[in-house]
């Protein structure tokens, strides 16, 4: 059996890029027989950038509702809020005493983020130690992440190895990053990588009218309706292709190339495809967001299971450390 673990920060509402690039591949992995998945909402990590409580609460609900809307099986697996298992903070302290300072100072992500901020807080610096604790607290073997997070998994392995080495015992499992090279980079409405930081994202859970408005903002060139168009350089087509079946793709490709088919038509087709493709998740997501007590119940089931495991692991760690 493989134990898979991953976290999504609660800094926003998951967008189409997050869903196609992270949520759906992780759900697929969780459905393989024999796998057990621990998916959590990294709300403690979100405090490094997000200070607003109300926004965090909304985002936590939204991330949880997204996992559930895409049928994450919470009977077989665990879904939980990081902050509800505070044992992770205790472990972070222990691990920080096994984390060489230069390893954190040299982390790409820290250098990158701190370079762009006027106030750099310690939490941003020790971010990878909390992430290591997230992972090794639950004996995770595989961690599906984007390329930008691979160094954090290497740091996790180094810390775990140092700890195990010090006490000459296999206390912690050494996790492996699982980077799916086949996962596409989803373009945003401006053609750059879709990201909440670029404000070019599509929130597929929006009400119909608002969703259509966003789809209409996708940037295209200025070709007239009559002119033939190149599908492969068009942002609307690039997004359509990620969601459509083979027949739909080849039909739209033909329409582009023969002319008499405008970008407005293509955008409407993309909008309709989003509605039909995500019909069920859209309904489920909105049900959960309008009934957060249901969401709360689902999360608490996962948190009870996560807590038990965390407590067992910490008992072992404390005893090894002489506390």
Phi first, then psi, for residue 51 (nearest 5°) are: -100, -15
For position 25 contacting ligand ADP by CB under 6 A, the verdict is no
Q: Which residue is nearest to ligand TRP (CB)?
A: 7
Nearer to ligand TRP among residue 9 and residue 200 (C-beta): 9
DSSP E strands, the chain: 2-9, 35-42, 78-81, 142-144, 176-178
Which partner from the list ligand ADP, ligand TRP, none does 42 bind, CB cut-off 5 to 8 Å by kind? Answer: ligand TRP
How far is it, in rounded angstroms, from Cα 93 to Cα 53?
A: 24
3-class SS of residue 7: strand
Q: Does 193 bind ligand ADP (CB under 6 A)?
A: yes
DSSP annotation of 76 reads T
Query: In whole angstroms, what is the distance from residue 93 CA to residue 219 CA?
Result: 47
Query: What part of residues 219-258 is at the interface with ligand ADP (CB under 6 A)?
Result: none
- The smaller minimum CB distance to ligand TRP, of residues 149 and 189, is found at 149
Distance (Å, whole) CA 209 – CA 215: 10
131 interacts with ligand ADP by CB under 6 A: no
Q: Among positive and negative, which fits the CA dihedral 172, 320, 322, 165? A: negative
Residue 45 contacts residue 223 (beta carbons within 8 Å): no
Q: Write down the least CB distance from residue 12 to ligand ADP, Å.
A: 7
What does 114 bind: ligand ADP, ligand TRP, none (CB cut-off 5 to 8 Å by kind)?
A: none
Residue 197 binding partner per list ligand ADP, ligand TRP, none, with a CB distance cut-off of 5 to 8 Å that depends on partner kind: ligand ADP
Q: Which is nearer to ligand TRP, 6 or 189 (CB)?
A: 6
Asked if residue 150 lies in contact with residue 109, where contact means CB atoms within 8 angstroms, the answer is no
Single out the residue of 74, 149, 164, 200 in contact with ligand TRP (rule: CB under 6 A). 149
7 binds ligand TRP (CB under 6 A): yes
Please give the angle made by the CA atoms of 207, 213 and 216, to the nearest 5 degrees: 140
Residues that bind ligand TRP (CB under 6 A): 5-7, 9, 42, 45, 131, 134-135, 143, 145, 149
Residues that bind ligand ADP (CB under 6 A): 8-9, 17-18, 21-22, 145-146, 185-186, 193-197
């Amino acid at each position: 059996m493989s134990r898979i673990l991953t976290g999504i920060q609660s800094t926003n509402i998951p967008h189409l890029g997050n869903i196609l690039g992270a949520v759906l591949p992780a759900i697929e992995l969780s459905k393989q027989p024999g796998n057990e998945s621990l998916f959590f909402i990294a709300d403690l990590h979100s405090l490094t950038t997000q200070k607003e409580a109300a926004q965090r609460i909304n985002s936590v609900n939204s991330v949880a509702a997204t996992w559930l809307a895409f049928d994450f099986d919470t009977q077989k697996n665990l879904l939980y809020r990081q902050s509800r298992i505070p044992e992770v903070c205790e472990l972070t302290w222990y691990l920080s005493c096994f984390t060489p300072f230069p390893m954190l100072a040299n982390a790409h992500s820290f250098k990158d983020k701190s370079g762009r901020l006027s106030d750099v807080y310690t939490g941003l610096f020790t971010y990878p130690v909390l992430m290591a604790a997230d992972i090794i607290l639950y004996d995770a073997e595989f961690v599906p992440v984007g390329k930008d997070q691979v160094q954090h998994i290497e740091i996790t392995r180094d810390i775990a190895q140092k700890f195990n080495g010090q006490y000459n015992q296999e206390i912690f499992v050494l996790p492996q990053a699982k980077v799916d090279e086949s996962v596409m980079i989803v373009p945003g409405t401006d053609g750059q990588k879709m990201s909440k930081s670029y404000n070019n994202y599509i929130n597929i859970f929006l009400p119909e009218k608002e969703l259509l408005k966003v789809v209409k903002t996708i940037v295209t060139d200025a070709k007239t309706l009559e002119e033939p168009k190149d599908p492969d350089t068009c942002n609307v087509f690039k997004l359509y292709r990620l969601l459509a079946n083979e027949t739909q793709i080849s039909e739209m490709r033909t329409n582009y190339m023969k002319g008499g088919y405008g970008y407005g038509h293509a955008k409407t087709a993309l909008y309709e495809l989003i509605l039909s493709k995500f019909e069920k998740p859209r309904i489920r997501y909105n049900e959960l967001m309008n009934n957060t007590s249901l969401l709360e119940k689902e999360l608490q089931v996962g948190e009870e299971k996560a807590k038990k495991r965390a407590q067992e692991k910490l008992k072992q760690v404390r005893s090894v450390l002489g506390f």
